[in-house]
Structure 1
């Protein structure tokens, strides 16, 4: 719903990872609504004209409900193409019909639509007026959840119109109703609105209090969603494995059947040969007793036996060919079913890649915080074990390059865990020291994967390698902590390789406090920082099909320093593709570059 999309705003979306898709859709809607109104396609014009004809026809026949339905469709089409004046005009005609019919429910729905149109036009005063009228109609019906939803829309409209006191009043009324209904999603929406309003009014204590309540409920809801998705994914995987096993058993049984048919055919052939031999012996004995008197009969018997033999052989060959044809058809059916299952599995993985892409930060947002920066990201498979992370808080900007255990689907699961935990540590717990962030991340990965229970049969050594950087805009300094990673810093034509700690996050490191080294750098001259996984330098290629290797990678980074920084990403992509050539990509590739000016 639009009211839920608008509640989070720019203040909350940087803190809540699973609200990312919702916020993205919200931003797209707002930008589109402010764009120049679209030209209606010819097919839409034709559709609108047909709706108008049907609306007039039904009005003349006295069928006002049908006429209102067609006018409503016309209004939605105009709204979709941002022709707001025509949309409002048709919605108001629908309003008049519902008022004449005494249809309070229809009148209330039209008021909501008008409010959303005015909201898209940034005419928040008109949107508030419509929401207030809608609220009156809802209260007459005594329905609590629609009343709370309307109050949520009203609070958002008040906030957009900078009427923060009215927004707070509406949000508090809706919050009380939501609590009585135990409706967590509505409670989260109202807490978010109250946080934003108090923040706009400068009341930081109240703002943080409601943000804490918002975050608590959101975390609970996201955990529920995550657990449901895990259960669904596991159930689907189990189902696919079972179907695959059944298919393999059927295929194996079919192969065994073919072998049995061939064995039976050989045995039958031996029996036929034996019978024919016995028959020939009998005929020979008869011929010996009737050499003179039965010469013609001997010839006739001989010809008959040859004919029968040929018929039997022909029949056997025909049956064998027919059985093989049926078996081949069955095999083809089984292969087609297996191919269909493989396509379904691939579709599921493709959908998982959309989810993974959705949680990754936009490179544009990184450029807002660090104007001279880029991300070269190339997964080996559809989904990736490498991912990057970005956030900010006040004058501090955080960027991380992470390489999870494995690649493909297992690596993607680890990347989801890593992204969620980094958001919790930095955005919710507000731990900004990179070394402390990695220590917290190690503890949470070990706890999440039950790696502290080493006596369990299901013990996992999965983990992740990471470079975590904090850029302080005020101090103009960099702080880094690295787990089993190396980063490259080039300052004043001097290259410094920042060697991380030798252990990874999770896996065999163990549970408890693990300390990571903190690297600090003052930006006294133009400084370029590169954070990367091992996918680029481990790629096979070149004339001798060998690894690219770390020294060659550092040498290439030094060589391109004289070229404008804006071209570095393109140069890295070209270097990688030329080196790889026709070779297969062996790992996910991630390189993050950032340039800081003293």
Structure 2
């Protein structure tokens, strides 16, 4: 929650360059027009080119802006000259030249005043206020923003007024005058609520929440944490209404930070974790990698504070990978430091020093002194805990030396800027005085010419007025005649259109009613299907450590999972029926019904015999004869029998395999018979076979449908494929089953991205 409001306002309100995002084609086109244009028209073309360059190439913007000013001044194009000076000021600001930026804004302000352009004047006041704030002259910034506010209120420019209130809120927040800061934020909020600007309303509530947060931290006014959360909640609601999911995630992160504060009345790391996970879920959908890495890192930090080091390391590693991928060096250094802090907590000092060394190398290459200071502090804590007091003292001294160095640099910068400020103001006054004298002379000449032109104009005007009135009378008479004819035609068409609309609305209501009935029926079928699937309590009883991923493509699914226990035999399976949606769901209900009869009722536990009986039942129920052209409905299935006494698993499969991942990450795949449950048109129908395998403690068993591997996605929109699926199972198998489920589902969601799910997906994983 750092102060970024001034830079954002600067980009939104001052610079025309944001109206013209960098576009080389348009720049090239304008340059071609510039070559053939007459000199008077070149001023506006040069101004537009300068605007295009401003955000990205400040030096080029300055060159074209100066040329535009010279021509505009020659031809007395005051508005173009004013806007060109404003762009020039923006470019100087981007280059860090505050003195030149201030001078150009002052000239632009003077020109806008001459042509009574209040919006341009408000923007110039805004720019001058931002410059004052950037050099730490907060009182001058306050005076300038107050002028902007007065001007905006008098001219009834409500958007500019709300922004002026917001700027004053930021200045008072910097000065530590939190009451005045909130007062100004709330006045700006009132205008935004009146105009129903939901996105700006959300920003205002967020800013007010920030003030309460900082006042609670710095002033130890602990009840302000509660007020901060109340305003953050309102901001979250407004961001949601404006469909700004990134804004919602930002607010969740702000609330999480409150629960991490040492001074917070309700310090609760679990609540902070809850808010961070909610923010993370939103950012995963948006897939903004920089923002996503920030939330993943914060989630890891919560787990670190909760001393859940395995999960903390998991999230820190994920954040590190993303930051390395997007080349976020500062973020990478910060995450490496937090991993080092984790190893210090685990008393693994050598590992902590290894990560701190990497973090320091990156931070040093970026001249990121704040990061280096924090890294030196982590070195100090690591060596102190490792009882290497000599090195601990060395890094403690390094940390303090860096802090003193930064303080001296800031002081020298302020002194230099004040000196430049004095010289700039001196030049500025001289330039304004010279311009004022020239303007007075031009005004006298202009008045004399105006009087002469006025008398000539009056005579010509009366003559032209007579001609216009006569012509208007004739035209009006003809127009009235045509209008009568058109009105009659329009009335007939309107009556016919009204009748047609009524018929269309009747048909629409009928279609909507039928669609609602069908959808309700399918939802009810989905509830029936879920009721038939094995209960979670039963699965927890027979397999305490298991995971289920069950994702129908539609409301109901053609995939299913099933389990039963007969004496010391646990029978479990995953089936993939022909099709998906309603047809697939009918087949899955048929399969579940037959399995209950074969295993639960008839006590049949041999996996190959179960599949033989299941195939016969399906063929009989569907009246399949093998005749060419008839429906080839059926299912692929992986059938398992786990003996709880000797830990031997027996497997039979109809096209679907079983994968076993050993504790040492070795993957073993037991192959199925290459034929389905149903009529088989390949070769002569034969009995299914059974394979046995001796399981060991901590082995992972996976059975699944083909929906996961066949899912299209990724950057090129291709299938996930089995080799990638197997590698995912190997990488996930060492984690607890709940983390495995998160990792497998997260990988799937990331892979699908903006694509659609193409098939039902079902996976059952069991840890022995």
- State the TM-score, normalized to the length of structure 1: 0.46
Ranked by relative contact order (alpha carbons within 8 Å, sequence separation 6 or more), the top structure is 1
